[in-house]
Every structure is written in structure tokens, then in C-alpha cells.
């Protein structure tokens, strides 16, 4: 394997370790977000995404296996920050009307989904570039589900804006 491919593969594994930690954090955070949601639709969306998030962890584990690497999470400061922001939104939301509180939670959640979409997009491109097409496919499946979660949150926000206005 030429050196640059080995370096790119090491970079891919390193970045996947970061994503694994990010997803593991979300498995813990999403139930709290669901519990704090006022609208039934938003609670359902967070609970559904919790299931998907467990699937993202599974796909990452499969990708590590395909690369012959150990699935070793590496602290993801980006996601730690985004989740801390989300927790702040939840606690500040206690003083808001229910629709505004849900909108605040949606803003925080969409930042998280965008972070994941960009992470998986870059990783997928990297995997493609080094000829790891099965890994790229797994990463693409995660990326698509993150984008779907983002779109669903946009949909849920529409009636909430009408109610809050």
C-alpha cells in the first residue's frame, strides 16, 4: 500500500473513532431530549432517532471491522459542545412557552444533525478515495439518515412556529 493511502486510512480510522464517540454520546442524550419535548411529534422524532443512532453505532462498528481496526471511541469535543448547548436549551426552555421551548430544542438538535452530516460526508469521500467502497456505503447510509432526521425536524418546526407566533 503506498504511504499516502496508509496515511489516509489512518486518518479515516481516527475520524471514525471521533464519530463513534459522538454517536455514543447521542445515545445517552437523545432520551433526555425526548423527555423534555412537549409536542408528541418531537418526542416521537427524538425516540425514532435514538433507534437510528444505535444503528449508526452498529454501522461504524462494521466499518471498523472492514478496515481491520479496533472500534475505540476518541473524545469528540465538537459533539460534547453541541450536547452541552442542547442541555442549556432544555433548561432555559423551562421558562418558555411549550412551543418556544420545543423550537429551541429543535435548533440545538439540527446543529447536531448538521455536524453529523458533514462528518459522515467527509468520511465517506475519504473512504471512497482509498477504494474502501463498502465502508463508504455504510457511512453514506448514516449520512442519509442524519439528513432525514434534519428534514423531519424542519417539518415539525413549522406548526410550532405558527403556534408560538
Binding footprint of Fe ion on the chain (CB under 5 A): 53, 56, 116, 146
CA 83 – CA 144 distance, rounded (Å): 21
Nearer of residues 102 and 116 to Fe ion, judged by Cβ: 116
User: What CA–CA distance (Å, rounded) separates 3 from 60?
Assistant: 24
The residue among 7 and 80 lying less far from Fe ion, judged by its C-beta, is 80
CA distances from 89 to 99, 135, 156 (A): 13, 35, 17
Q: Select the residue whose beta carbon is closest to Fe ion and give its number.
A: 56
CB 74 to Fe ion: min, Å: 16
Helical (H) or strand (E) element with 10: helix 3-36
Nearer to Fe ion among residue 73 and residue 98 (C-beta):
73
Under DSSP, the state recorded for 72 is -
CB of 6 to Fe ion, least distance (A): 28
Least distance from Fe ion to the Cβ atom of residue 19, Å: 8
Amino acid at each position: 500500500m503506498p504511504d499516502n493511502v496508509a496515511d489516509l486510512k489512518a486518518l479515516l480510522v481516527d475520524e471514525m473513532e471521533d464519530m463513534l464517540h459522538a454517536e455514543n454520546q447521542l445515545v445517552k442524550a437523545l432520551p433526555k431530549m425526548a423527555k423534555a419535548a412537549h409536542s408528541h411529534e418531537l418526542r416521537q422524532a427524538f425516540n425514532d432517532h435514538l433507534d437510528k443512532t444505535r444503528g449508526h453505532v452498529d454501522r461504524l462498528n462494521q466499518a471498523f471491522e472492514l478496515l481491520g481496526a479496533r472500534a475505540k471511541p476518541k473524545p469528540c469535543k465538537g459533539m460534547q459542545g453541541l450536547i452541552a448547548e442542547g442541555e442549556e436549551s432544555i433548561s432555559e426552555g423551562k421558562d418558555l412557552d411549550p412551543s418556544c421551548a420545543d423550537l429551541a430544542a429543535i435548533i440545538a438538535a439540527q446543529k447536531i444533525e448538521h455536524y453529523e452530516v458533514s462528518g459522515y460526508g467527509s468520511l465517506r469521500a475519504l473512504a471512497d478515495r482509498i477504494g474502501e467502497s463498502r465502508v463508504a456505503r455504510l457511512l453514506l447510509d448514516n449520512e442519509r439518515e442524519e439528513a432525514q432526521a434534519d428534514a423531519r425536524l424542519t417539518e415539525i418546526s413549522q406548526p410550532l412556529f405558527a403556534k408560538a407566533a
